[in-house]
Chains A and B, each alone.
Chain A
């Protein structure tokens, strides 16, 4: 067992060795040559996408011009035609019109050309004019761009009545927006407008609407508008409908109505019932929302603490630099993001000089300037890379410091704290003292809702990822030869060594693996929080606590305690109304919990004394 098992390290180890050597060579090169920079040609930035030339025959634009230039019935019919188009251009131009920002340019042939001035003004306060008819810049006969200030041109007239018609067109336009979220918010706006005139508009939209959430929003909005109906029967039906829909947004309206309809006992009764039902619903939504947040926080803690459970729980090494391994992962994500974008460079000048030359070194890596889906996929490359980088950092740390301190855990705590200070300072020198910007890929933004409880994609991703990591760690430890050796060395180092297991190598691999897990945690902490030099410090106390509560040396215990602490933290935040108080209560409860179970949740029964 021992021989065959030990053999499986060789290829991996060779790779690691080569990697380490290359790194040292690189570092040596960089530090020997003062002022050296690996300069690459500055890659051209992404070309500014030229505004897509709109076809002059675009019907929406033609209708817009017609609506602006005509009067009376023609204008009405043009606006009505626009209201069904759902076009962004239409809503932009129309809202500019209500603000009196559509101008009429007198063309040389006597006709009037509607234009809009650009936001960007030159030194004289003048801006380029964009023609409504085709979206092109207005030019004179010689092809020179014409520029105007606010007062230079006549504005397209709009009186009060016309403006309200335009406003209505705009509202209806929003209902036809291609984005369901935008449609929902437009519907909600109409629902709270208290104008019953919108009911037919909304019902017309309901007939063609296909997305369930928007349908629900429309029904809610119609019922809210019907609350103001003169007929009590319609009102009662609307109240019942709202109760049935669990319309949380209408709670205020219902309460207002209850005050004004004291004299109608049946209606008041219905309203009381509806308000009660909706309040109960809100209670459930908050409850499940808190649980979800708790589980997602627990998952973050879990991934952070899992690496610690390996290095601290299994190896007995207190690694105060564990937090910095998290930061290594997060910064790797940042660098990968920049490599997919415009590139990454840094430059350090040390505050002393040799022979008059200041010692400086730097690195300039060109970027791919990727856009679209390629750029969005950077995170998929960042995940494995952050594992590798943190594992490598862990390997270096184990070889250089920790291997001398296996028998002196208290001193490994102190030495690794020194390492953590050094690493934080290096982060500050390379990446700056401020937080760096890590953009989440589009597919991690946004959220979906089940019965009003909203689930952010990034949080769902974190939970799923944590499950994968736990399963992966479990499989690695229990099903692979490497895992077998790890467990053997952890249980009885001397015996394992006697049987031919190369314990130093196993230690190395275990520590690198634990650090790599921390790097993974860093990769997705970068998606939900700030990335800065002291990123890891915020998690170190929590993750130590998680491991201690779970039972040192037990991965299952770590899972339970991470989930428990995460959920307790969120629930207590809700109950006490302040994040800090919640945290203090959790910490004190943990101290008290250890009175009851000093070995943690899953303590290991042993006959050995210490």
Chain B
């Protein structure tokens, strides 16, 4: 146990060294034509993947470790992004299309003065404060209401989906004064540095990678504590935990808020790197995509979501260029196949194949990789809780 922990720490440190120190150095200190050179584009894309990986870890913390499939993680991610976006919009100053001291879309809507709630966002610390308070507060409120009335399993998923849907409808409205369906874009500066400079992008890349490592370490530590054990116990049999005297609702609420904060952090780092934030980012599909990264990578492990986020997004970048029409076909098929045949994802693939190999070498007939039923006992047979619609004749 202790040894494997050491190995893990070593691998993590090695990987972070390569990704967070070597790659940026190669980007900064080698010339354009050199075979060692890492392009600005690559740095930017990887930085984006880091943010996705942060989001994926937050999904896994909820789904893989606590058994709560939340279809609203993209909402928290986007809320964080919006708070950062508001600060970046204020940083543009008078350099916008209309050369006014207020954001362009407000000029377009006929405003000549900044609305009151926009004013404090000129300060970076305030924007960061709001990026914690808003998603955290929303998660706390919603989680309190949901867990108090023991909404769980599928119902929890559907309710989070509805929450996300309502929020995206709200953000699509111009009258919210958050940019409507165009959202925020055209950012120029961040903390006094030009966002288009490669060095700024490199800084953001290192920052995202460092945050990912920290989040990973935090979650890794959390899963080894007693809290982590209770968390997994809730996933496997919530009633048993409840009857052992634990208030499962409080545990779930804590994990839910923590996951929301992690997702929001991902969003904060994401926006300055892609340069745009709009309400389509918070639609249900985005949450489901994040869930898919976790499923592909392997849920219930912390490496899985990171591997999944990188693998699926790399595949997406390739497929949207090679076969633009077939990308969603490919995504859908991957999702079906992974759910049916690879319940443990890429990370669990080795173990799965080993099992098949052992059975094969032992001379037993090879059984098709049957989905493991013990992995997600979220709900018992749905059958037990139903009654006849009408009396039998």
Find the A residue at minimum CB distance from B378.
A410
5 residue pairs, one from A and one from B, having the closest CB atoms: A316-B382, A418-B335, A421-B332, A422-B332, A478-B390
B333 within 8 A of A: yes
A545 to B387, Cβ gap below 8 A? no
Given contacts A316-B383, A407-B373, A414-B295, contact A351 B323 (CB under 8 A): yes
Say whether A326 faces chain B, with CB atoms less than 8 Å apart.
no
With both beta carbons as reference points, the residue of chain A lying nearest to B388 in the complex is identified as A487
Report which of A417, A491, A584 forms a contact with B166, defined as CB distance below 8 A.
A584
Task: Flag whether B124 is at the interface (Cβ < 8 A).
Answer: no
- Ordered by A's residue number, 18 sampled pairs between the chains whose C-beta atoms are within 8 Å are A316-B382, A316-B383, A351-B322, A351-B323, A351-B325, A351-B326, A411-B339, A411-B343, A413-B154, A417-B288, A417-B335, A419-B332, A424-B328, A491-B386, A541-B162, A591-B142, A595-B148, A609-B239
Across the interface, which residues of A come within 8 angstroms of B323, CB to CB? 351-352
Where chain A touches its partner, the secondary structure class is helix
Q: Tell whether A491 pairs with B383 under 8 Å between CB atoms, given A541-B162, A609-B239.
A: yes
Contact with B along A579-601 (1 / 0, CB 8 A): 01101100110111011001000
| Contact of A447 with B by CB under 8 A | no
A408 to B340, CA, bound (A): 11
A173 at the interface (CB under 8 A from B): no
Stretch at the interface among A144-152, A223-231, A548-556: A548-556
Q: How far is the CB of A448 from chain B (nearest CB, A)?
A: 34
Partner of A477, one of B145, B322, B390: B390
Task: Please determine whether A410 and B381 come into contact, CB atoms closer than 8 angstroms.
Answer: no
B161 near A418 (CB under 8 angstroms)?
no
A490 interfacial contact with B, CB 8 Å: yes
Which one of A318, A413, A424 has the highest number of Cβ atoms from chain B below 10 Å of its Cβ?
A413
Are A414 and B291 neighbours in the complex by a CB distance under 8 Å? yes
In the complex, the answer to whether A487 meets B332 with C-beta atoms within 8 Å is no
- Residue B120 at the chain A interface, CB threshold 8 Å: no
- In the complex the two chains form, what is the Cα distance from A600 to B343 in whole Å? 32
On whether A493 and B332 interact (CB within 8 A), knowing A410-B154, A414-B339, the answer reads no
B150 within 8 A of A: yes
Q: Which residues of B contact A (CB under 8 A)?
A: 63, 69, 142, 145, 148-151, 153-155, 157-159, 161-163, 165-166, 169-170, 172-173, 239, 284, 288, 291-292, 295, 322-323, 325-326, 328-329, 331-336, 339-340, 343, 371, 373, 375-376, 378-393
A299-356 interface (Cβ within 8 A of B): 313-318, 350-352
CA distance A407 to B383 in the complex (A): 10
Q: How far is the CA of A430 from the CA of B157 in the complex (A)?
A: 32
A594: which of B149, B343, B381, B385 is its contact (CB, 8 Å)? B149
List A405-464 residues whose CB lies under 8 Å from chain B: 405, 407-411, 413-415, 417-422, 424-426, 428-429
Which residues does chain A contribute within 8 Å of B157, judged by CB atoms?
318, 410, 413
A554 to B385, CA, bound (A): 11
Tell whether, in the assembled complex, residue B339 and residue A409 are in contact, meaning their CB atoms are under 8 Å apart. Answer: no
Q: Does A103 contact B (CB under 8 A)?
A: no
Q: Are A584 and B379 in contact (CB under 8 A)?
A: no
In the complex, which of the residues B162, B322, B334, B373 contacts A408, with contact meaning CB atoms closer than 8 Å?
A: B373
Please, how many angstroms separate the alpha-carbon atoms of A474 and B390 in the complex? Answer: 8
B339 touches A418 (CB 8 A): yes
User: Of all chain A residues, which has the CB nearest B334?
Assistant: A418
Q: Which residue of A lies closest to B158 (CB)?
A: A544
> Are A410 and B332 neighbours in the complex by a CB distance under 8 Å?
no
Known: A425-B332, A548-B158. A316 touches B379 (CB 8 A): yes
B389 touches A555 (CB 8 A): yes
A-B contacts, CB under 8 A, total? 184
| A429 touching B325 in the complex, CB below 8 Å, given contacts A410-B157, A413-B157, A609-B239 | yes
Given A318-B154, A409-B154, A541:B325 Cβ within 8 A: no
Complex contacts, B239 vs chain A, CB 8 Å? 609-610
A604 within 8 Å of B (CB atoms): yes
Contacts of A161 in B (CB 8 A): none
- Taking CB atoms, residues of chain A closer than 8 Å to B163 are 587, 591
Q: How far is the CA of A534 from the CA of B321 in the complex (A)?
A: 23
A608 at the A/B interface (Cβ < 8 Å)?
Answer: yes
Segment 498-550 of A: residues with Cβ below 8 Å from B: 541, 544-545, 548
Within A387-413, the residues touching B (CB, 8 Å) are: 401, 404-405, 407-411, 413
Q: Looking at the assembled complex, report how far the CB atom of A381 sits from the nearest CB atom of chain B, in whole angstroms.
A: 31
Residues 241 to 259 of chain A near chain B (Cβ within 8 Å) = none
Point out the residues of chain A lying under 8 angstroms from B385, CB to CB: 553, 604, 606, 608, 610
Contact of B392 among A317, A414, A487, A552 (CB under 8 A): A487
Q: 10 other contacts beyond A545-B158, A591-B159, with CB at 8 A cut-off?
A: A352-B323, A410-B153, A411-B376, A421-B329, A425-B326, A492-B383, A544-B162, A583-B166, A598-B151, A608-B380
A484 CB–B CB distance under 8 Å: yes
Asked if A479 lies at the interface with its beta carbon under 8 angstroms from chain B, I say: yes
Complex contacts, A425 vs chain B, CB 8 Å:
325-326, 328-329, 332
Partner of A493, one of B288, B291, B343, B381: B381
Q: Given A413-B69, A413-B154, A414-B295: A404 and B371 within 8 A (CB)?
A: yes
Query: In the docked arrangement, what's the CA distance between A502 and B301, Å?
Result: 39
Given A414-B335, A418-B333, A604-B385, the answer on whether A544 and B161 have CB atoms closer than 8 Å is yes
Q: How far is the CA of A417 from the CA of B333 in the complex (A)?
A: 10
Q: Are B332 and A420 in contact (CB under 8 A)?
A: yes
